Amino acid sequence: MIPGYERMYGFSPDGRILQVDYAMVMVNNSPTAWGIHVEEGIVLAGVEKRIDMLQDRTFSQKLFQIDEHIGTVVAGFNSDARLLVEYARNEAQINRFLYDEPVDVEYLVRRLSNTVQAYTQHAGMRPFGISMLIGGVDMLGASLYQLDPTGIYFKYFASVIGIGREDILKYFRNNYSMNASLDEAIIMGIKGSIDVLKEEVAPDRLRIGVIRTDEKKFRVLSYEEVKKYYERSK
């Protein structure tokens, strides 16, 4: 490879954008997050880094509300996540202002993906070092999407980002059912995380949000609720 070739021309000789590859490494080495879509709604959850005993355990760097009916959980560079979350919130509010209705989930994801993709093609920029699992309930029902640093997004029934992704996905493939209740989906997600991450998973490090199909409202579970689900999952 000619030194600096990929910086000069964008693609490496084998057709890869190396900075995007590095961004994916950042995501894959970040604390785990997962999302599950069942008939009753969407579960979004993340495992926070180890926290100091003086840190407020209700504060989250991984789980965010975008609009009343949409939430996201992230893995990667948290500063990048905050920027994209603010952009998504603005887009959601603009849609309400212009059309007087909640934004469609896929439309919002597509707008985000356009922004993320633009950062892979301009000099002087670096790709976003973040993957997002975005879930919500709109007129078409509940849906779950994964957006990666490439700007590509896919629709999932269940997905995982961050450390242990492939092993937890294997657990999900063996245990997932669309007919499961929201409670069962939460327990499955925690069990899969415990099975792979072991002692890294604890109630004070789990952040869980849910959106019920019939309510269309994103809600973050309290520490007491998370602890009960954790005990049922052991």
**pLDDT score at 206:** 94
Q: Does the residue 9 lie in any domain?
A: no
Q: Does the residue 21 lie in any domain?
A: no
For position 184, which CATH number holds?
3.60.20.10
Compute the average pLDDT of residues 134-161: 97
Average pLDDT, the chain: 92
The 10s digit of each residue's pLDDT in 73-101 is 999 999 999 999 999 999 999 999 999 99
Q: Does the residue 110 lie in any domain?
A: yes
Q: Does the residue 151 lie in any domain?
A: yes
Q: Of 36, 68, 66, which is closest to residue 218 (Cα–Cα)?
A: 68
Note the helical H segments in 32-181.
Answer: 78-99, 105-118, 165-175
DSSP 129-190: -EEEEEEEEETTEEEEEEE-TTS-EEEESEEEESTTHHHHHHHHHHH--TTS-HHHHHHHHH
Expressed as residue numbers, the domain containing 157 is 32-48+60-233
Q: Does the residue 5 lie in any domain?
A: no
For a pLDDT cut of 90, what percent of the chain falls above it? Answer: 81
Q: Does the residue 10 lie in any domain?
A: no
- End-to-end Cα spacing for the chain: 51
Which residue is associated with the tokens 């849910």? 210
Q: Does the residue 4 lie in any domain?
A: no
Total number of domains in the chain? 1
The 10s digit of each residue's pLDDT in 159-204 is 999 999 999 999 999 999 999 999 999 999 999 999 999 988 999 8
Residue 14's pLDDT band (cuts 50, 70, 90): confident
Q: Does the residue 99 lie in any domain?
A: yes
